[in-house]
Structure 1
């Protein structure tokens, strides 16, 4: 009747066996289409059919269920998902009544307890029930009753429309039937022990069973060890007698649950989480427990107690235990090294997994359930000491509470929750097959296919294959692993855990005292900022309350904590309700610390961040912090100009781009991602892109007036040409033009002059939004032929003629750092050919050498500001930038004709080449490079830290400290920076005088 294709479509692996079974005498009363339809909904149709034949042979009435749509679906979903429960139905056919009924209502714990106690005929006062059905019969009765309830839960789970949505309720009810079974097992134990102890003594012993782990959290698996702790008290009995009876009760309880019997055991009762573990007494009094936890307990034990809950036995004693240990649980994160110990424990769990199991682990491996659980528990323990909303046991509720309070972002929480539910559903389905404790993905494809079908709701089983299961599981693992690594290892957690409860709560008294201790000069003013940031019940205020206790300490590590906190408030208010901002500071391993350092160490960057607060997002991503390339900047500027018609409006955006890139560069430098060379290149690239854009606008304006008569190029000179500028450097340039064919030379010259004049205007126009420490790009053409007396722009032929006849030594020296900056490529290349001949090919005559030395001496004598300490002036002072650069340039002029390797506009590259070619001793190169690098860093740091450009090492303690910190020195190292600078420049000056002037 049915084709092979029909059987394959239904999910059968062994088609011929399926045909034989369907034709078996036991199934002749069933309509074949009902069988095929029901089996197609089974996770493993082959196994479901086999189990049905066996059941029909023993209990023919099972076929009545196949005739009814609802019971048929439930029956085949159960038989196809669990061989173990099919075996239970074979042993106890009366349990088929559970299959025939709709299982859509979750039973309460009290209902389940009543049923379990009734199964063993328990009577007596609450918590001290005594079974009337004891011994092997009592054990059989409680295990049969347990599996009846287990079957009912499995049916509801397997037939759920959304297994992920149903999972928490299923886990909770599994924990509840375990609690009920423990109560029944304890009642049987009390009856059985009456043969060995005085019944009155047994009655005096109050024993409570504290559930730990998943049972305590009401998120139990189908088959799992049930972790417990036993607590007892006794009225009118010596403690030794009471302890003996309590231990015997506990041992008998565990035996009744899992010892060998005609009905298989349920699960292991594990008491190894008790004080002292296996070496400790099986049961202790409440006072003994508390004494141990107060004196000896390790951090992991408090993490375990997070799940502790009375689950069986004496309820009043259980509540007393719960109330007594709670304060210790929620203060445990204040213990030294608590966060680090929890993180280390998670790593040990992973390290102890057998290597062959790691790829198949659903629970313990990377991206598994343990990653979710450890992450959630650590956040609860750190933040739950002041936030009582987090004091919940189960994982799904904890994730929701952490999200509501802002400790986890909403999207992260949703991803964590769905991943956790999915992994738990997989775990449940794997365990259901044989009711065995396992957390491994099946190795065989057929078992994976059955798992894929079992994890889907009825009606969707045909849509899920083993391949899709594997892909979804791997995606889930990657997602969990990423979230775990990002959240579990947050530096904020360890720092927050080291704060006192009062400090975390930010109470006014504690906060002001801490602010003063941290070094805030105006604690009351700082409190006003804190109150403004944390007032209200919004999510933003909640996040600020989480972050500020930690951020206050990091801000205080800077030079000016008060200014840093004010800057933080201003930026926070500018960003308002931006959802990413506070989440970034909470989640990023680096963003919060970097922002705090910048705000309390740099007036300039605080000012820039206030007008460009979205740039804070870069701090959490090293790739975004790295400066853009010159080509990227040019393309971006070109797009902005095109969009705005090459106008001043477009030029404004270009200048904002430049400020943005200066900010990015400074933030990257502050984060230690780039050094002196990268800073200079990045700033030079931003300037070059801006000049190119200004040239484009100026040329387009000329085209708008008529036509473009000439091509203009801009050549970078000085430190700009060497790509060695700092944040406040002008752009030294020279302008070159070439008239287009057929145009009037004079008209071309006039137009070229208008263009370069316009370039300067476009670059220095006021910029809005303005900042207090605006750094305009000022172009300076003083290094052109004849200096300021010469024409602002010359033709290529004019340059060629001038340099051939009239070039002075200082002009040849200036051309050593010439580099193309903007303009038409062909003209630039021709000009650089002219320049190379002038600067590299002519050598250096004696009179030119004397002239360069004379000019250098004159610069030292005349240009050093009056009153400036020559030992501390980083540009013109002894051993400073000028000394190193003039020496390098002198050697380049002398030797470039014969040593092509030293032909570079970069001072540091030229220094290295001079050393490699033997023109400077290696030790001298090291000394010169160290002095030049330190002077460059100080020059940049002075502007970044103080907001004011200066070429002199600061004299005030505060500014010197700020510069030192930006240069990478530790707190309180301003004097050390000055000492290092004096020593480096003194040594460099000695080399300079010897090599430049010929002094011994």
Structure 2
């Protein structure tokens, strides 16, 4: 018995060393059997270092009690004197109740843990075969197997092997066990053994050298007749041997089981014969095998039986494995299979499922295997059955980003370590994280988490699971993957001769130049070149879908040259959603978007962001532009900064337009061309308004600082005021000012004029960007009138001199920059002019019709085809807009919906008010949208504005692709345009001219 003081001291020490039942531990330490160990601080420290000190102490007591009296002293002396042995033994006892049971039944087996030599740290199959050599019956094999397992577990819990090494050792022990079991089966049936050759092929984790402590060992059996033997009888004999082997490993005896041997991965599964010949296997795989069966064969490895037959099997099926990705719907089949696995997990278990659940081990394994099968056709470095080795090879080859691979590797190791320690406790096959605090505490401590094991374990587990799930979704569902899988094997690696022929067949006009680009992009052994070799075969196909593949490839080379040393660029194209396909569409669709991109290549990042193609609103843009202007040193730098924002945002808008117009695999072609037109018109209008706001701020700051002596506003007119700008549109404007209190009118006028002059100068500075031209010709008195007027001057002019065409022009006036209150007062001033009370008189209507007829005869360019001119031609923009504007001026006073600057909105309001029948409204809307899209397409394709279809065949084809017409349908496009605009002109003749 111990005195109370000593008991209290020991109790405290036990608590400090991690015991959860210090009273019970005290009682155990006071047992006579532990007299030699009692009070030894070294032992207490060693127990405290285990996953479960209470469990370790209980196991130690059982082990000591089980020793013969003569051996007990040897055990205790060794325990106290040999630290490596002490750590190994107590580490196993604190982590595995099942192995403690084994030691209690076989008390001399502790001696296997004493040896601590370099050769003992990483034993292989031969070492384990020696450890199993004396086992000539199933019971002895189980005992010897557990004895070997002791050493693996000891190295594992002490950290002298990592989780991957422990898994490899478990696979090697399984290999030795299968060989021993087959030897026992052959010894029991020597006649069967003489009739056949039998090879055992390991599959799954055993085949991949990454086995768990407790797992089914998946195998396939291959049999052939021995020389001179009958094939049918030989297969029957081989089947009896294979069945006997499975029983030896799987059946429960007094020593428990080893593990189940599962042969259900064989052809036809459990319904197929257990043993087949090699030729029968091949016939099945060539004709009937499903996608998942080839995925399973990736890990096939001969482990027992006839070594030549086993090697022949693997050699024969390996080419089939690496051709599997060429199967129709291969990628989608693998993805669907993974989803089915998750869907079949019971709802109550899905959050605890370490192996199959979202963010679990299978997510890593499926992602790695899919990448292996797709890219391994042309890269033998990926031919590994081990998940971690394959992941490292994928990273080295550039198929997975280094950072992503490192995160996956870390997470996989942590999750596998959790799985190992969960199974090690009772040596039971489970992948569920325990729920009880005691089990979680032991699990956390076994992984080195000691401060608050339960909380730390949950935090680390959820963190790693989240990383796995995120990267699984990113890699496993990568759009590029399916595209690569669909390539023929010869297309994956680009040899010059084959590539030249392929390029010509794809429609490249200059295959020699294209080959030079490919050579520059993909040659060499750098990581950059490796990633390019993965990207290029797919990109070439996407470029070939365009009207100008050569331009697409040239643009890609230029962008890659500009961004080649930027680490995120190729990673973005490989990993992020549809970025690569989006880039291919943009680069091969014409000149405008590639030119914008080449002046700011970093804008490529827009294509990989799901929100990147969404246009920025006017408030956001104006805030960014004004902030950039505020940081600039002078007015020129300020406008250059504003232009930089405009360049990027113009690219964003053009890229979104092209991608929506062409469609991609992830984002099909939009079915609403009107929505595209409205989005582009609004985006370009907002962008130009923000740019004008920046130019105005720069002009004011240059001379007056923060405040101009007069209030100043820019009024948008025409398409600008209508929020209908195209890529090549000028910005029609009016300038209005109002002197601030106490400022002389002449001083205010001089300031306003200088601001206008400076704004125009700044915006006209030479640049390679698309110009933003401001046109003030719609001001009172036109070009002969003052550039800027006061609000009172506008009021006086419009009251006395305004002509009907000026009232019509004011229909589209809207404040765009400068003082918002002054801009609103201008709108209030002009509303009575543009929406005259009681509508237009007949004289005014006749004047508008006369002006329209005159414009048609005088302004159409000489030689232009009036049936194909999008702006001034028959049924084009002008026809529709004048018709709608006439309705606005005649009925706007009575119909609030007509009081809008937007053509389509006004047309819709006129229809809603019963001013235009449904069919006629739809005809005008269709023609206006089509004509606007033609102008936008010409600018996108040629990089400069145009109002009619290009004459150059490739440019015309590119316009056709933008409008939804595939190769060979250009004539159909022109015919459709003429038909639609002809119908629109008939409506115009009726509604506008009263015909």
**TM-score interval, normalised by the smaller of the two chains:** over 0.9
- Secondary structure, counterpart of 1:478 in structure 2: helix
Alignment partners' CA distance in 2, 1:625 and 1:295: 46
- Secondary structure, counterpart of 2:738 in structure 1: strand
Greater Cα shift, 814-823 or 102-111: 102-111
How does 1:961-1000 map onto structure 2 within 5 Å? 961-999=957-995
The offset of 1:715, in angstroms, is: 0.8
- Secondary structure, counterpart of 1:737 in structure 2: strand
Tell me, yes or no, if the aligned pair for 2:200 and 2:302 is still in contact at 8 Å.
yes
| 2:814 alignment partner in structure 1 | 819
| 1:306 aligns to 2:298 (yes or no) | yes
Alignment partners' CA distance in 1, 2:721 and 2:30: 91
Alignment partners' CA distance in 1, 2:586 and 2:163: 47
Q: Deviations over 1:807-864 (max 9, x none)?
A: 2211111111111111123322322221223323543232222211211121112111
- Secondary structure, counterpart of 1:816 in structure 2: helix
Match of residue 931, structure 1, among 927, 939, 944: 927
Tell me the matched-pair count: 965
Alignment partners' CA distance in 1, 2:463 and 2:972: 52
CA 114–743 in structure 1, closer or farther in 2 if over 3 Å, else same: closer
| 2:667 alignment partner in structure 1 | none
Q: Deviations over 1:852-903 (max 9, x none)?
A: 1211121112111122222211111222211221122222222222222322
- Secondary structure, counterpart of 2:560 in structure 1: helix
The offset of 1:916, in angstroms, is: 2.6
| 1:905 alignment partner in structure 2 | 901
Greater Cα shift, 828-837 or 89-98: 828-837
| 1:663 aligns to 2:651 (yes or no) | yes
Tell me, yes or no, if the aligned pair for 1:116 and 1:180 is still in contact at 8 Å.
no
Alignment partners' CA distance in 2, 1:499 and 1:992: 52
The offset of 1:64, in angstroms, is: 4.5
| 1:118 alignment partner in structure 2 | 133
| 1:755 alignment partner in structure 2 | 755
> Root-mean-square deviation (CA), in Å?
2.3
TM-score (norm 1): 0.93
Match of residue 432, structure 1, among 424, 427, 430: 424
| 1:520 alignment partner in structure 2 | 508
The offset of 1:117, in angstroms, is: 4.8
| 1:809 alignment partner in structure 2 | 804
Task: Return 5+ residue gaps in structure 2 as ranges.
Answer: 1-7, 661-669
| 1:829 alignment partner in structure 2 | 824
Match of residue 884, structure 2, among 882, 888, 892: 888
The offset of 1:589, in angstroms, is: 2.8
Q: Deviations over 1:332-369 (max 9, x none)?
A: 22223322222222222222222222111111112111
How does 1:819-858 map onto structure 2 within 5 Å? 819-842=814-837, 843-858=839-854
CA 324–648 in structure 1, closer or farther in 2 if over 3 Å, else same: same
Greater Cα shift, 962-971 or 307-316: 962-971
| 1:682 alignment partner in structure 2 | 683
Alignment partners' CA distance in 2, 1:103 and 1:427: 28
Q: Deviations over 1:196-221 (max 9, x none)?
A: x3xxx624533221111111111101
The offset of 1:496, in angstroms, is: 1.9
| 1:445 aligns to 2:437 (yes or no) | yes
- Secondary structure, counterpart of 2:369 in structure 1: helix
Tell me, yes or no, if the aligned pair for 1:208 and 1:310 is still in contact at 8 Å.
yes
How does 1:175-190 map onto structure 2 within 5 Å? 175-190=171-186
| 1:81 alignment partner in structure 2 | 95
| 1:384 aligns to 2:376 (yes or no) | yes
Match of residue 421, structure 1, among 408, 413, 428: 413
- Secondary structure, counterpart of 1:237 in structure 2: coil
| 1:142 aligns to 2:141 (yes or no) | yes
Greater Cα shift, 295-304 or 215-224: 295-304
Q: Deviations over 1:544-577 (max 9, x none)?
A: 1111111111110000111211111111111122
Match of residue 939, structure 2, among 938, 943, 953: 943
Greater Cα shift, 643-652 or 85-94: 643-652
- Secondary structure, counterpart of 2:350 in structure 1: helix
How does 1:524-563 map onto structure 2 within 5 Å? 524-563=512-551
How does 1:247-646 map onto structure 2 within 5 Å? 247-456=239-448, 461-646=449-634
Q: Deviations over 1:107-148 (max 9, x none)?
A: 44343244145223xxxxxxxxxxxx3xxxx22222222111
Alignment partners' CA distance in 2, 1:424 and 1:172: 12
Tell me, yes or no, if the aligned pair for 1:864 and 1:877 is still in contact at 8 Å.
yes
Match of residue 37, structure 2, among 24, 27, 30: 30
Alignment partners' CA distance in 2, 1:786 and 1:824: 24
The offset of 1:620, in angstroms, is: 1.2
Alignment partners' CA distance in 1, 2:585 and 2:834: 45
- Secondary structure, counterpart of 2:223 in structure 1: strand
The offset of 1:18, in angstroms, is: 4.1
Task: Return 5+ residue gaps in structure 1 as ranges.
Answer: 121-132
| 1:790 alignment partner in structure 2 | 785
| 1:128 alignment partner in structure 2 | none
| 2:724 alignment partner in structure 1 | 724
Alignment partners' CA distance in 2, 1:182 and 1:871: 83
The offset of 1:305, in angstroms, is: 1.2
CA 5–645 in structure 1, closer or farther in 2 if over 3 Å, else same: farther
Alignment partners' CA distance in 2, 1:725 and 1:806: 29
Tell me, yes or no, if the aligned pair for 1:117 and 1:184 is still in contact at 8 Å.
yes
Q: Deviations over 1:71-94 (max 9, x none)?
A: 443333222211111111111111
Q: Deviations over 1:678-707 (max 9, x none)?
A: 211111111111111111222223327x99
CA 34–748 in structure 1, closer or farther in 2 if over 3 Å, else same: same
TM-score (norm 2): 0.93
| 1:67 aligns to 2:80 (yes or no) | yes
Alignment partners' CA distance in 1, 2:103 and 2:203: 31
Match of residue 198, structure 2, among 207, 210, 221: 207
Q: Deviations over 1:264-290 (max 9, x none)?
A: 111011111122222322223333323
Tell me, yes or no, if the aligned pair for 1:258 and 1:265 is still in contact at 8 Å.
yes
